Structure 1
């Protein structure tokens, strides 16, 4: 029993350590750059239910194979978001591993929408 608890605690620690920090301020500033690309990494169904203005949809689990078709320049500023920030964190890690140098995890759709509507 003790071993199972330690194992589960280790898994939760690893999962938490994987998440990249959400930086909404940097995301909003980066979106002022007309070369920036706003990427919704949620599912196609979630995207169809509502997305941020100007966003394109590249699902997080396919982003590595599809990113070059929309952003061949690895220095292009990329701003990622999802429902909670978790999938955008995984996508950020994948893109950085591919050599993309300006990738920002903007976090959750519901948190970003009012900020963009207010023009912050």
Structure 2
């Protein structure tokens, strides 16, 4: 019984200290500068594996990716999964990201 209680407490504490989600805009810098989600960091999809470790230390952190249509976000998602990141969502395009972010922060 003590083991079960300890596991429940450990799991509950992990939820409390879970990392905040990270929003990544994987479009080009020019596209990002023409409009983006305020919460997002620009990391073009071709640079994702080189830059991700400096942005996200915990590989279980929720990561939300978007681009123009979802295609480059899908490429970035597969690259991150190959690097061992486990909690990645391809949101689609910028308008989709705005809707999802608004729903999450209401």
Query: Which interval holds the TM-score relative to the shorter structure?
Result: 0.7 to 0.9
2:80 alignment partner in structure 1: 95
Matches of 1:34 and 1:99, distance apart in 2: 16
Gapped regions of structure 1 (runs ≥ 5): 1-32
Per-residue deviation at 1:72?
Answer: 1.6
The structure whose RCO (Cα within 8 Å, separation 6+) is larger is: 1
**What TM-score do you get using the length of structure 2 for normalisation?**
0.75
Preserved CA contact (<8 Å) 2:49 2:79: yes
1:8 alignment partner in structure 2: none
1:71 alignment partner in structure 2: 56
SS in 2 for 1:80: strand
- Count of aligned pairs between the two proteins: 86
Matches of 1:88 and 1:111, distance apart in 2: 12
Matches of 2:37 and 2:64, distance apart in 1: 11
Gapped regions of structure 2 (runs ≥ 5): 1-17
SS in 2 for 1:100: coil
**What TM-score do you get using the length of structure 1 for normalisation?**
0.67
SS in 1 for 2:54: helix
1:18 alignment partner in structure 2: none
**What is the Cα-based RMSD across aligned positions, in Å?**
1.6
